[in-house]
Each structure stands twice: as structure tokens, then as C-alpha cells.
Structure 1
Amino acid sequence: MPKLSNNRAVRMLNAAAEGKYGVLGVVSYNMETIIACIAAAEAKKSPLQILLFPWALKYSPLFVDFAAMAARKASVPVTVHMDHAQDPEVIKQASQIKAHDGTPAFDSIMVDMSHYEKEENLAKTKELVALCHSRGIATEAEPGRIEGGEDGVKDTAELEGMMTTAEEVDDFIATGIDFLAPAFGNVHGDYHGVENIHLDYDRLASIQKKVDGRVQIVLHGTNEFPPDIMKKCIERGVTRINVNKLVLSDYNEYVAKSTGKVPLTQLLEKGTALMQAQCEQWMDDIGSSGKA
């Protein structure tokens, strides 16, 4: 199955791999987050990926339209990714949505069938990858299973987490995916302290060696990660770094403390500025500043 060499997300992560830096993938639940992360990307001259969960489709198709238009109006490369699409019907629906310029609203979609056993995971992934590729959309999959959950993602706490093995990397690459999200000790949600983050860097390095540039590696489960852990992951092939609370924490704290106590316009402006500042710092930390 041919790779999507002209796909904007593929080009972005290929460049990150070559330049040995990370691209911030910002989980976005509202317009303020999208405005903030694009402002940060423009200020830092950094590439950026906006991540929406399938929840966004239920919330409002207008939110997806906003993300797609905002990405295309940015002065730096910005793509839109649907993360953790766990329902084949949702993937089919998302793949049909067009931006105002007629291109797919989602540059990439994570075909997350990791809640199925391996063989069914592979079969469903292959079928859905072919569908997305036929519409010019890049794809991502999760070999193994990253434990936990977060807002907008099915919690897999009742399922056994499975570390990605170098051997199964070939199986998933054979489905035609463009991006690989390995499980190597990372979890969705909170670690409840940096001391509880136990990543198997040797496993990640072996996955990088096995991948051998055929796909790009992306990182999930970064809540509480300090910059040095991010850098160790980038050194071992990670190109996109998904962030949630790492860029939302100051905003969440401010909104909780200030709602009803300051004018709504001030709440929105200050909250957006707080997210922008956190995004800018992470762009510096993962090396994407100046790479747009």
C-alpha cells in the first residue's frame, strides 16, 4: 500500500524525524485551546498538530470545522488529527468530513483497535487504513495496549496493558499505517508523581530499530512528563508528542479559581494566554521552535 508522501501530517513528522525534534500534538476540547496552541506555534515558528477525540463529532461538527479552518489559516504548518478513534463507524464518518478548501478535515486519524485481541486488531486496522488512505488521510495505530484513560478516551483500566514488542511492529506496519504509538510503560491519565513514571527505554530503542524509518513513532501518555523524559523519547525516535494536562493545567486552575469572579472576556483571554505560554515552553523543550 503506497505511503502518503504528500500528506501534510506525514511530511511534518518525517521532517521531525530527520531533524530529531518533537512536534507538539495538543489535545483540544474547546476553541480557546486551538487558538492558544496556534498562537504559540506562530510565535515560536513551530509546526503543530491539533488533536481532537471522537467526542468532538458528538459535541458539534462545527468544532471540527473550526479546527480545520484554523489549521489552514495559520502562518505555520498545522494539521488536525483524530486521536483514539475506537469505533469503525466514527472513523468512516470522520474520513468523509471536508475542510472549506475541499481537502479532508482530518489530516490523520488514529485507528485505535487496541481494545480488540491482536488478530482482530490487525484485521480491522488494515481495513480502516485502506479506507483512510483512499481519501488521502494518514493513519496511526497502537500495537500493544496503553493502559488507562482520559477525558474523551475509553478507559482500558479493566484490560491488561500489553507492552509493544519489536516482533509485532512488522505486523502493524504491514497494515499500511503511517504512525506507530507504542506501549513501553506509558499510560493514559495520571501517574500520580514523576517517581511513578517507569518507561522501558530499551524497548523503545528496539522498536525504533525495528521500525527503521518505515513509519514514524508517536508518544501517548505524557501527563507529568518533565522535559528530560521527553528528550529521551525523542532520542529514541519519537516525532509527535501528545500533550493534555501539560498544556491545560494552568488554564484549568485559573478557570476553576476565577469563574464568576472576573468578566467572561477576561476569563477567556487570560485562560488562552496561559495555555499559549505552556505550549510555547514545550515547543522550546522538545526542539520544534524555529522548525516551521
Structure 2
Amino acid sequence: MSSTLPNNRTLQILAAADEGGYGVLAAIAYNVEHVTALVRAAEASHSPLILLLFPSTLKQLPSLVFAASAACRAASVPISLHLDHAQDEQQIRDVVNTMPFDSIMVDMSHYEHEENLRKTRELTKLCHERGIAVEAESGRINGGEDGIADTGELEALLTSPDEVEDFLDADIDILAPSIGNIHGDYPPEGPKLDLGRLERIHSQLRGRARLALHGTNDFSPKLTQECIGNGVTKFNVNKLLLASYHHFIKENADQPITKLIDQGIEVVQRETEKWMVVCGSANRC
């Protein structure tokens, strides 16, 4: 983990979580209603939060990143802004020079290992020069979700000890391992994670990087807490929080737009507060 970023918001949040033995929600926002709900939930729960945007959102709603950054800075609790699954090398280079992100997931996992590592090392150096923390994916997490490229046609690769060392040597700050987790929905039997592998990865890191977990659709509170107990501090969520919002919008689409906005925000806020308790981050700040 880079020692040159002592004031980085994302790393400060994750360091506190690691010390306190809890997880922090890293929650996707697709619009300003989601941003509002997530920030309100963090403040009401006295919880830290990492706010995620997808690269696709930067193209669809380019002003959202600045609104989200302002909301993070104005919040009464620690909140950072993270670009998730940045898979376009040129976009990353543009973002670090023009947008106020605290951290970026440099996701080159669609390349073979050596090329993934080479690109990650080069882009990590660039991000660190701008004070931006870097997350990377070791191995390859299979599947896809709305907003990121689908890697379903590529073979899922579980993270090995050698890969962990390779990415640490690239000076990344946050590691997202592949332990049987998938992007998108799990089969009917639910998630089947290699928690022993997760525990070994955490022991291997020895504080040199923080652990992130992707692919949390269909997780139970028990499985979530088991992962956090094995060292996960950054707990990425998408459908886990937003499924109830999507259902609400579908069932109430004929209502006035102002009512949809207000009540939709309340739906996401309630769900987020519930999962902050599950992760153990409520009442930590």
C-alpha cells in the first residue's frame, strides 16, 4: 500500500475499518437520488461510506461526479468517492486529470495476467502522483452487471498467492480477490465462496493493502459478516441495496415524479441503514 497518500479519504476510511474490525459499504449510485439516499443513510447511521460510480455513468451523466463529490465533502461523516471497474485505459488517464475521485479501481482483469499487471502498475503510478488510491482485481471475477463489461465469456480465475504478491509489488492499495464470487446474480443455490482462500489472502496481505469484496448480490447477513471477519473492509454493493428501489419504481411508475423521488430516496436510505448495521459500521463516527 502506498505510503505517499496519508490524506486519502478512501484509505483513511478503510484503515479505520481494518482497525475496528468492521466493513464499509461501497455502494453504487446511478443517479442523484441514489447519492442523496446513500449520504443520508450514512449520516443517520453515523457510518462511513464509500460512494461508487461506474464509468458508464460518467458518460451518461457527466455532472453527477461533481454533485457526488460535493455531497461527500459536505457530509458530517467520512465519505469518499470511488470510480469502480475502470476498464478503459484512456478514460482512466482523463479522469485522474479532470475529476475529483479519491480512489479508482483500475480493472485490467480482462487481459492476461502479465498484461493486467503491467497496465495496473503503470496506471497506479499515475494515480498515486495525483493522490488517488488504487484498487485492482487479482485473478478474474466472472460475470457482469449493469454498468460494467461482461466477462462471462472469459474463464473465472481464483486468486493465487503469487498473484497477490505481484499486485502488491505493483503498489496497489486495495485488492479485490476472486474467491468464487461473481458479478451479477448467483445460481439458485446461492454464493459458494472459498472463505479459506479469503482468510489466507488476508493473512498474506499483512496490512500492505486492504481487502475489497465484489459480487455480493444474494448475500445473506451471515455470509457478509463471515467475509468481514476474514478481513474484508470494502464491501461492494449494487443490487443488494437497489433491488428494493427498482421494485418500488416499477410498482409506482404512475405516481407523480416528485412523490417517486421522495419515496424512492426513503426506500434506498432504509435498505442502506440496515446493511450498515450488518457490516458493523453503524455508530462508528
Give TM class, smaller chain. over 0.9
Residue 61 of structure 1 aligns to a residue whose secondary structure is: coil
Aligned residue for 2:280?
Answer: 287
Residue 160 of structure 2 is matched in structure 1 by 165
| Residue in structure 2 matched with residue 128 of structure 1 by the alignment | 123
Three-state SS of the structure 2 residue aligned to 1:288 is coil
- 1:136-171 residue CA offsets vs partner (Å, 9 max, x unmatched): 000000000000000110000000000001221010
Residue 266 of structure 2 aligns to which amino acid in structure 1? Answer: A
* 1:137-152 correspondence runs (5 A): 137-152=132-147
Q: Which residue of 2 aligns with 1:254?
A: 248
RMSD: 0.9
* 1:183 match: secondary structure: coil
**Cα distance, 1:3 vs structure 2:** 4.0
- C-alpha contact (below 8 Å) 1:4/1:136 kept by paired residues: yes
Contact 2:190/2:218 (CA < 8 Å) preserved in 1?
A: no
Q: Does 1:22 align with 2:17?
A: no
Supply the distance in 1 between the matched residues of 2:147 and 2:15 (Cα, whole angstroms): 28
- Aligned positions, number: 284
For 2:152 and 2:62, the matched residues in 1 are separated by 29
Q: Does residue 1:13 correspond to 2:14, yes or no?
A: yes
Matched, 1:32 2:26: no
How far does the alpha carbon of each residue in 1:30-83 deviate from its partner, in whole angstroms, 9 at most, with x for none? 111110010000000000011001012211221111111111111111100000
1:270 aligns with 2:271: no
Tell me which residue corresponds to 1:102.
none
2:192 counterpart letter in structure 1:
H
Name which of 198, 214, 217 aligns with 1:220: 214
Deviation at 1:175, TM superposition (A): 0.6
Runs ≥4 in structure 1, deviation > 4 angstroms?
none
**What is the one-letter code of the residue matched to 1:222?**
T
- SS of the residue 1:196 aligns to: coil
1:3, 1:178 within 8 Å by CA — same for their partners in 2? no
Give me the whole-angstrom Cα distance separating, in 1, the residues matched to 2:94 and 2:78.
Answer: 25
CA–CA distance in structure 2, aligned partners of residues 290 and 94 of structure 1:
33
Distance 2:229 2:217 in 1: 19
Query: What is the CA–CA distance in structure 2 between the aligned matches of 1:224 and 1:35, rounded to whole Å?
Result: 24
Structure 2 letter corresponding to 1:139: V
1:234: which partner in 2? 228
How far the C-alpha of 1:4 sits from its partner, in A, is: 1.5
Matches within 5 A, 1:55-70: 55-70=56-71
Deviation at 1:291, TM superposition (A): 1.0
Gap runs ≥5 in structure 1: 99-104
Give me the TM-score of the superposition, normalised by structure 1. 0.95
Structure 1 contact 27–52 (Cα < 8 Å) conserved = yes
